[in-house]
Structure 1
Amino acid sequence: MQRDYVDNYCERTDGSFWSEPLNAVSNVSFLIASIAAWLVIRRTARAVGKPAVELYVLPVLIFVIFFGSSAFHTTATRWGLALDTGSIGVFMLYFIVLWTRLYWDVPWKWAWVAAPIFLAWTALISVLPIGMPGTYLAAVLGLLVLAGLLFFSKHADRKQHWRWYLITALVFAVSLTSRTLDQPLCAEIPIGTHYIWHTLNGVVLYLVTHAAIVRWRQKMVTG
């Protein structure tokens, strides 16, 4: 019998609104990350005395992730799933473009080329028989690549930021592991492990946003 709701996670047992309480409530991690990032950006922009429009986009996108994930884990609909995964994808694409702009001083019109490059990278990783979602594994590996590029950079102002991306990659790796184990461990852990994915991803999104803020301030102060 075909279900009339999307049942992707262990915690959901039927199509009711609160069938995934932990998965739904744990989305507050994204809301906290969004608010915290917004406040830090506002404080930093005021201290520097310059607008930070490109940074404010990040907490706005994190809030959209909060809304999309909350919608999916309560309604269990296909439109909720599309909003959930789509909002995450938009954040990743915008961040890689912003990263290219912040760390390599690439003009905006050329920085956007980083988006299709990341999509190609994701497509490549997705065809590997790894048993994990290719998009998210590509993001973990991408963070390691960014950390490596900064670590081996000959520019001291860029090099010092590599730790942000290594730490974030490690947190994201744990988060992705918890997402991957949700179904396999369902018999042993009926509540699943997907809520850990949400909780840690709030941390991940805040960390990359904070790293961007630190770099932006560095560029504004040093000129």
Structure 2
Amino acid sequence: MKETQQIKSMFDRIVRRYDFLNHLLSFGQDFFWRKKMAEQAINDSTPIVLDLATGTGDSATALLKSGARVVGVDISFEMLRAGNKKIKKNIKNAIFSPIVASGYKLPFRNECFDAVTCAFGIRNMHDTESAMKEIYRVMKKGGKIVILEFSLPEGFFRNLYLLYLKKIVPFIASFFSVRSAYEYLGSSIDGFYKPHEFIKLLENCGFSNIKTISLSFGCVYIYVGKKN
């Protein structure tokens, strides 16, 4: 798929400053967002979690610190390599397995994960429905899907946020990384599903008991669902 290759190439190119810019441009809130996602995914047991679009491992780190065993999947080898190195350095005896694969064709048998998480990766999968159905396939019955994704807030703040995303973010990023990648960030957020639309998509793909958690004035949402 041409779009998938373009996304892979983009993330391969921005890996060196990726973490730094994530923390800078989110004003450090990305740590909090990922921690909240991990809290939703983990229960009292020690689950096996698939972290889709795991990138440089910040979400996997939050999951590992919560006691999970994590399989991290990403299409970018460079991102995975950076994430694996960081996890090995920072978490002793972490059970983390990095795998290069597409979210459209996961190399796992049916019903093998207790939970599937994805932070800021779903909007990069242009055939979102196919990706959701593949997630559903690899989840155990009773398992959780937990999606952390950007959204657009309502009201006056929406226009300020769009200005920040489409003008200020690319300008700042251009001093440290590839400007076009951060122009894509704003356009991909603007073009993504509204929360009620994404909930409907999850339901159409078989997920139930869906709830949402709004963070940072509606700039970020956590979607939690279950496979019955």
**Normalised by the size of structure 1, how large is the TM-score?**
0.29
Q: Decide which structure has greater helix share.
A: 1
Q: Decide which structure has greater strand share.
A: 2
Greater radius of gyration (CA): 1
